[in-house]
Amino acid sequence: MSPELTESRLAVEDAAFREVVAAGEPFMKQLEKGQVFRILDLEGNQAVDTLFYSARDMQERYDANTTIREQGNIYLTTGSILRSNEGKPMLTIVADTCGRHDTLGGACSAESNAVRYALEKRHMHSCRDSFLMALAEWDNGLSKRDLPSNINFFMNVPVTPEGELTFEDGISEAGRYVEMRAEMEVIVLISNCPQLNNPCNAYNPTPVEVLVWES
């Protein structure tokens, strides 16, 4: 599946919901079946770590392995179906002006900060921390055991011929977006990545905007 840049037909002024998510902050919201959800990269090259859960049973959640296997591609773009650990379609990407999104790089954490960068970086804020703060505020009984492998929207993680991952400068630009249609009632959980040590966001975390349209 080659990347396909696809513009949305939806007008921003018709959105039922809009919110700017500050750099480094979490975001959590329930989407109804049929609603369309957009993540807008306001300034470019911002990595948006994202998880999805079934609103009816949060033990059903986005599954990277199933999604990759069913589409035969490690990257996400227009036409990609995000599947759950039960194999069910959760969301479909219906518009994408970036063209490729990462499924393998994972979320930064205290542990990965120490291993990748330096021991003194361990206590820097991370996406894993953001996920856990949002889950605690949502008060749904979920914990770190309930954080599966996430999607990194707008993040550039090429795979080398040897099968290794490299973290490179982002391929997104200001104003690019990815848009998904909910195929079931889902809860979206975002960490707008605070990472200061990775070129994925040009070492400069920036805000993003999320928008929702009714079905």
Reduced DSSP (H G I as helix, E B as strand, rest coil) percent helix, strand, coil of the chain, to 5: 20, 30, 50
Task: Between 18 and 147, name the one with better pLDDT.
Answer: 18
Q: Are 196 and 203 in contact, with CB atoms under 8 Å apart?
A: yes
The verdict on residue 114 lying in a domain is yes
Using a 10 angstrom Cβ sphere, with 0-12 exposed, 13-18 middle and 19 or more buried, the burial of residue 209 is middle
Alpha-carbon distance 86 to 60, whole Å?
Answer: 7
Q: Which of 200, 151, 212, 178 is nearest to 15 (CA)?
A: 212
Q: Is 61 left (phi over 0), alpha (psi -120 to 50) or beta?
A: beta
The verdict on residue 8 lying in a domain is no
Would you give the distance in Å from CA 108 to the centre of its chain?
13
The verdict on residue 215 lying in a domain is no
Confidence of residue 1 (pLDDT cuts 50, 70, 90): very low
Give the residue numbers spanning the domain of 128: 25-203
Q: Which of 75, 83, 130, 79 is nearest to 105 (CA)?
A: 75
Per-chain mean pLDDT for the chain: 86
Alpha-carbon distance 213 to 13, whole Å?
Answer: 10
The verdict on residue 191 lying in a domain is yes
The verdict on residue 189 lying in a domain is yes
Question: What's the whole-model pTM score?
Answer: 0.88
pLDDT at 119 over 70: no
pLDDT digits (tens, 9 = 90+) for 121-163: 445 566 778 888 888 887 777 887 888 889 999 988 767 677 6
Total structural domains in the chain?
A: 1
